[in-house]
Structure 1
Amino acid sequence: MPYQPPTALPAHLLNDEELQRALREHDFGAVFRIARSRAGISYARIAEECDIKPIRVGEVARGKGRITSFAKVVAIADALRVPGRMVGLSPRPWEDSGSPGNEHAPENGSTVRRRTVLQAASTAGLAAALPALHRPAAPLHVANGYVDELRQRTARLRRLDEILGGGDTYRVYLGEYQATKGLLRDATFTPSSRLRLVALLAEQAQQAGWAAFDGGRQADAEGLYKESKEAALEAGDPDLHGNALAFLAYQAPDPRVAVEIAASSCEGIGPGSPAGVRALLHERLAWACAVAGHASGTERALSAARAALEEQPADEPQPDWAAWVDETELDIMSGRCWTELRRPLRAVPVLIRALTQYDDHHARDKALYLSWLADSYLAAGEVEEAAAVTGRALTLASGVASVRPRQRLAPVLRELHQYRSVSAVQNVLQAAGA
């Protein structure tokens, strides 16, 4: 008999609009509820099949937190026999023309199941499991058209960072960087196409470095940022060079050194630099100044970043690596800076305003930004509010493949500990321990 896992959703249910919306938006709480109510699949069985703790499945089904880890998305799709396209994946190993008994399906009693899929995903890279992201075959002679294809692919892969943590994406981004590096070594070029590919290499090194940083690989991140800086210099791209410096400043352990590096990144801004790039470099200088305790420098840099966005022509093209910088992002950075400078009256309103623009799909980022809001509430003496926001951040951070939310929340939890007699604080401390 062909393999038919007992958790498979019936075919007619996959046509349900509510289920399709939930799968498309990765609202797995709704998926679990629908699976139990309409297909009789218990939460305990879902937990067993997907390698998720039963308590976690129940919490997600009740609307507490979301599942954002790529590995778990693959596991759920595999266990429930959900077609890959419905959750943003390429066809799973058991999918072909729609027949459930194809040659790739494991036999009854096999222990392969989703663990094999996850192992393949971590070995071959996340990109191999996603649609429309397969790297085009490299020609022996590289022209500008092929570089454009790779640049578009890099932009598509960058979108993974919006919902996944560096623990999920690092190997993908590193693989792209290494493949481009090999292409530069082995292929032939026109003078123009080579310089453009070197610039793309600098961009890919920065993305890989960011994922390494987010996933807790600090040494790897620093090495990639330094390689990016050299590639940007070779390509004659001052904007990418400035961004490499800004990344190096972001993780410099000495605040004074960080301010110096960040200031250098802004010095390279030229008249041709797009508004998004100028705003990005100035806001990272603002952060370096805030960490160093320089309130006046922070305010000047934030003002420069805001002025850049306000002066931006409506039709000005932005490089994809800076296209996410907008007023909301600047509000977040402003709130972070004022939190760091212990100015809660300035930090809290701007963080609340910005956080209304973030839904829970951006679990890692929202958890991080909530940690600064909780920190500012504590600085203002609003202990109950700080506890509530911390609890929300902990829920969002659960299952995210990033070390940063927990790192940010650790000092907040330590400070909350002195208020452990407050019931709201007791609850969040218990949740953190669990």
Structure 2
Amino acid sequence: MIRACRVRDFSAVFALVRRRAGIYPSRIASLCGMTPSRVGEIMSGQRKLAHIDVIERVADGLRIPGAMLGLAHRPWEIPPRATTTFTEPDSQPQRAPSPQAGATPAADLDGILHLVDTGQVTRSTLAAIQSSIEDYWRHDDQHGGAALRPAVVGHLRYAQQLIDSTREGPLRNGLVTLAAELARMAGWAYFDARQYSTARGYFTQALHLAQGVGDRQFVANVLSCLSLQATYEGDAHEAAALASAAQDTARHTESPGLVMAMLHMREAFAHASLRAPDDCHRAITKAHSHFERAHGGAAPQWVRYFDETKLIVDTGIALAQLGEHRQAEPLIAEGLRREHRDQQRGRAFHAFWLASTQLHNGALEQACSTASVALDLATNVDSPRVVGHVREFHTSLASHAQEAPVVAFEAKMRQAFA
């Protein structure tokens, strides 16, 4: 293993992990934020790993010390600082221990701030945290989620400290609800960064917090996020099971219409990946039916993004995943036309899907033109997930490599990702 890591021979690394640790390729893929097919290609020697962010994901997912792969120490390798307690005679005033040589003064900043933050939690405290969460989601729409990770995780830790110091009651329950939303936001930010193992940890934390206050609709929401992530990781069966569990959780709750519409669309994505047309169309029909019944009704704040435009474009994406590109193209185009200009990450994502459907429908020049729009948007957002889709589209152009529109797109892509 040491020799394989030194030369970054990941075919040998994965083979050793399977043989010596009993971790099968599908689990390696899940731990490292890859698809099973990509892991298989690496193990067979058909593909190499060169990008540093992917190598870091492998190190983190398989717990390989950074030094073995020529990386810096990984965060999980660094133990927490030891705390030394000094006992002074009762007659002497208590003194703080002297700083250790080489210690970073701000290393325990959260703890220091918590000591001086002795104010009582009020409704204004909850309103301020809620406002910050709304700002995070706006930033996610406009600039992608990857850059939000430190801020959201820090805010989550702060909310947990407030929970620990607040007695049982409505204010504490409100804090737990907000902490659940912050944990889901953290999971989403790591998902957008394609760091799937870390994302799953935060989604699981959000589940526990939401269950603690009995918020079944929010539990269903988190399950839907896990379902979408499973679709990205190539595990469509797990994605379908999670979507179904989410529906069972949200069913019979108060005003579930819009929530159920969103959940059935997540189910449609899973069935599309499984190439199950009857199940996919059935889920799409249910999504539209629930949406019509929910129109104008009450709904949780976190699901109100799922408006008519989102329903239309998601229907098109599900059909595209299913391979029904003729039916998908006008729906995705209409959704893209309707979307607000500030939703840059969503527009980049949907422009990629439109380009893909146009390519499958034989419109190469139009597809490259649309992909160029997606590329412009992708370079303005910090979203490795969107960049991954653009690269996948580029791979699908291989059979047209000599065509002028493809040559022009490749030149623009090289410039964008230089």
TM-score, structure 1 normalization: 0.65
CA deviations on 1:191-238 (whole Å, 9 max, x unpaired) are x22223222211111111111111232222110001111111111001
1:392 paired to 2:373: yes
Aligned to 1:166: 145
CA deviations on 1:371-404 (whole Å, 9 max, x unpaired) are 1111111221221121111111111111321101
The partner residue of 1:357 within 338, 341, 351 is: 338
Aligned to 1:337: 318
How many residues in Structure 1 have an aligned counterpart in Structure 2? 297
CA deviations on 1:401-424 (whole Å, 9 max, x unpaired) are 110122112221112121122211
Conserved 8 A contact 2:139-2:145: no
Residues 1:210 and 1:407: Cα distance change in structure 2 (over 3 Å): same
Instruction: Name whichever of 292-301 and 324-333 sits farther off.
Output: 292-301
The partner residue of 2:300 within 285, 295, 319 is: 319
TM-score, structure 2 normalization: 0.67
Conserved 8 A contact 2:140-2:345: no
Cα shift at 1:276 = 2.4
Aligned to 2:133: 154
Conserved 8 A contact 1:170-1:215: no
Aligned to 1:300: 282
Query: In percent, how many aligned pairs have the same letter?
Result: 26
List alignment gaps of at least 5 residues for structure 2: 1-108, 110-115
CA distance, structure 1, for counterparts of residue 396 and residue 124 of structure 2: 55
1:213 paired to 2:191: yes
Superposed counterparts of 1:191-270, under 5 Å: 192-252=170-230, 253=233, 254-270=235-251
CA deviations on 1:91-144 (whole Å, 9 max, x unpaired) are xxxxxxxxxxxxxxxxxxxxxxxxxxxxxxxxx9xxxxxxxxxxxx96654355
CA distance, structure 2, for counterparts of residue 325 and residue 366 of structure 1: 15
CA deviations on 1:123-173 (whole Å, 9 max, x unpaired) are x9xxxxxxxxxxxx9665435554344334322332222212112212222
Conserved 8 A contact 2:136-2:148: no
**What is the root-mean-square deviation of aligned Cα atoms in Å?**
2.0
Conserved 8 A contact 2:352-2:374: yes
CA distance, structure 2, for counterparts of residue 203 and residue 275 of structure 1: 20
Conserved 8 A contact 1:279-1:309: yes
The partner residue of 1:184 within 146, 163, 169 is: 163
1:287 paired to 2:269: yes
Equivalent AA in structure 1 for residue 247 of structure 2:
C
Cα shift at 1:360 = 4.1
| 1:293 alignment partner, SS class | coil
Residues 1:359 and 1:187: Cα distance change in structure 2 (over 3 Å): closer
1:309 paired to 2:291: yes
Superposed counterparts of 1:343-422, under 5 Å: 343-422=324-403
* 4+ aligned runs moved over 4 Å, structure 1: 137-141
Equivalent AA in structure 2 for residue 162 of structure 1:
D
Conserved 8 A contact 1:140-1:188: no
